[in-house]
Structure 1
């Protein structure tokens, strides 16, 4: 029976990364308590596109994004935006992002991202089997579509990098795309299909299933807003907004977009920012969607979930406090209607969530500077679901004294 006064580990964050880590630690025989300010699947884990994007090895911070960014930033509803009210605050992060776009740093980030992707893919299906969630996995691939030969040719350098890393794909003409996904507008003349792209039936239901499994096997989940950490002899005190103190031998900080606020309380300033993601989830009969479709030139995807058809994506660097701008969801939905002429756009539910992102597009995974008893696991950006099983493996290795399955130097929280 778990000692509720002092578990072996407290995991801060009940999103997909935190719960995956909690389950991995539990499987190693540790008693674990999870604390979350809102409860399981309340943040980005609820509203993402549901993809295990193992082929997405190239960082967002790249020369290609720098070329596109000026045009995108001119459109307040486009794929990348910075609200004027937040521009000054995010300027230091943007400078770090720009520096991370140098060819040498992009190559290093791609290599590190590939290693984490390979580990995450290898760990995923065994993890799903252990947690009773294997039936939720789908292997329907992903189709990236391009408007004209120029856009297609501009993508080829990225596909060359993927080819070097052994990722399977095939380029298609309009007829080839129609065979995989009928109903695309004729403006899309080229495409690339990646069959190794997996997805989950519904990301929120999956995360909730992980929470249920964790509790069924003896774990405790409490709703509490963590405001501070205090290293003490033999452990770590976790302080909540109510003034209560919980102690554990070790702590995993996986609180998504709020993680940096907690890390500051032990003297560690990590440049975490918030990509505000938007989507609209339509009824299941909105379109005959057979694979996930990525409209890369417009920064969004359309995904078939068990709960509906989700149209979402884009990046708004707007922090945690500005009100949602759901015109962004509406703009994506209007584009989706033009790109998929048969799409029925009525009856949708809008959502906005916070993606925790670091300027070099790599997560922070590793021990805190102040104490080795605190392990960070946050900042996965668009790839939290994708990298959840691999991150859980690394966290479990660190907290049980084993050498991590991959070199984690590139993910060091102190690299900034």
Structure 2
């Protein structure tokens, strides 16, 4: 048994136990350790092997609107009937999903909608700067390329939607430029002649390998004294010294705990805080094409086909479908392969899918599209989960916020960090 798990007396050596070794948990652990705190990260998987492993790699600072709009009502029959559609709701999961979807629709009313947009903007506008700071500190700035991203359209009648989106983005101070078809082909000549134009977002970027980024943070965290335990957390309770976590191997006691285990965060949050959060999961798929290099200079999304293609060190990653089917149902990898079929016609020559590998992961989503980032239970419990498909984008700024919250003397909105009020647990 680990010394950390065996040690539950008054001389415990752990200041903060971080539950979750994804990109958010690891980034937070590194920041906390660099504040001089003794940190242990605990997860039933190796670091970065959950949703952080297979995300699209896109630093999506432009995505300041909720995950859905009122058109979801019209799309509901298609979500149920089309197993390969870009947004899928599993029939068997529908009874559990409907309360969450109801809350999502309620949050699309004008006042809560504006609160969501303001909350997403505050995090996203700070995200790239936070990532540059973090990667510079560990000496790995090359992992992130701030080279923009492009949303393309193919049908002439989509121009109205593109113009409307550009206007909405500019109203939220999101940098965006309209590119003509010739401008698109100047930078991405392998794209099809069908492309009519698109919107270019200059203040976005992509990681050359999201998993490699997690590994780099883990290495830096270990060098800063963070310890990693591969155990499953079964529950926990608060006491006067802090928090005791129950694992399959024993107990781990710490002064504070940070819950950052993504889609799996609700149970432990309820056990420690008594608060039941409406956390669900968007099951996201990707298809990795190892023989596709130099097709695209940066991430490109299709307006009509509703998926993204990101160039990475190990090939081209196709991602972007969403499925609501919970945490227990097996992955439907046909949805991943559907991404290759969606790509047909977007390039002058079809993409090479030889040796392609499919993947599915769980994106943690709350019905107001905002994460929970908070300090509760007299500071004994910190929370950082529910970032939906923006976990990679918002990980570094979330780590800075958590680092400020960890010690009472540092709780302030200093150094231009976003205020935490929109992300409080108490909103539910």
- Structure 1 length as normaliser, TM-score? 0.94
2:38 maps to 1:31: yes
- Take 2:72 and 2:62, find their aligned partners in 1: how far apart are those partners? 18
Cα deviation, 1:261-319, whole Å, max 9, x if unaligned, reads: 21121222111111111111011435622121101332210110111110111110111
Cα deviation, 1:188-243, whole Å, max 9, x if unaligned, reads: 3121111221111100011011111111221100001112121110211111133x
Kindly report which structure 2 residues correspond to 1:6-405, keeping only aligned pairs within 5 A, or say none.
Answer: 6-63=13-70, 65-66=72-73, 71-242=78-249, 244-266=250-272, 267-285=274-292, 288-342=295-349, 343-368=351-376, 370-401=377-408, 402-404=411-413, 405=417
- Structure 2 length as normaliser, TM-score? 0.92
How far did residue 64 of structure 1 move?
Answer: 5.2
How far did residue 68 of structure 1 move?
Answer: 5.1
Cα deviation, 1:23-71, whole Å, max 9, x if unaligned, reads: 1111111111100111200101000111111111112133355555555
> Helix, strand or coil: the match of 1:35?
strand
How far did residue 167 of structure 1 move?
Answer: 2.4
The counterpart of 2:425, out of the listed 402, 413, 416, is 413
> Helix, strand or coil: the match of 2:165?
helix
> Helix, strand or coil: the match of 2:392?
coil
> Unaligned stretches of 5+ in structure 2?
5-11
How far did residue 157 of structure 1 move?
Answer: 3.2
- Take 1:358 and 1:26, find their aligned partners in 2: how far apart are those partners? 29
Give the direction of change, closer, same or farther, for the CA distance of 1:157–1:64 in structure 2 (3 Å limit): farther
- Take 2:116 and 2:135, find their aligned partners in 1: how far apart are those partners? 28
> Unaligned stretches of 5+ in structure 1?
none
Give the direction of change, closer, same or farther, for the CA distance of 1:132–1:287 in structure 2 (3 Å limit): closer
Q: CA RMSD in A?
A: 1.8
Give the direction of change, closer, same or farther, for the CA distance of 1:93–1:255 in structure 2 (3 Å limit): same
Of the structure 1 ranges 313-322 and 259-268, higher mean CA displacement relative to structure 2 is found in 259-268
- Take 1:212 and 1:91, find their aligned partners in 2: how far apart are those partners? 42
Number of residue equivalences: 412
- Take 2:192 and 2:79, find their aligned partners in 1: how far apart are those partners? 22
> Helix, strand or coil: the match of 1:218?
coil
- Take 1:216 and 1:174, find their aligned partners in 2: how far apart are those partners? 48
Give the direction of change, closer, same or farther, for the CA distance of 1:189–1:69 in structure 2 (3 Å limit): farther
> Helix, strand or coil: the match of 1:271?
coil
- Could you tell me whether the CA contact under 8 Å between 2:364 and 2:387 is conserved in 1? yes
Give the direction of change, closer, same or farther, for the CA distance of 1:197–1:16 in structure 2 (3 Å limit): same
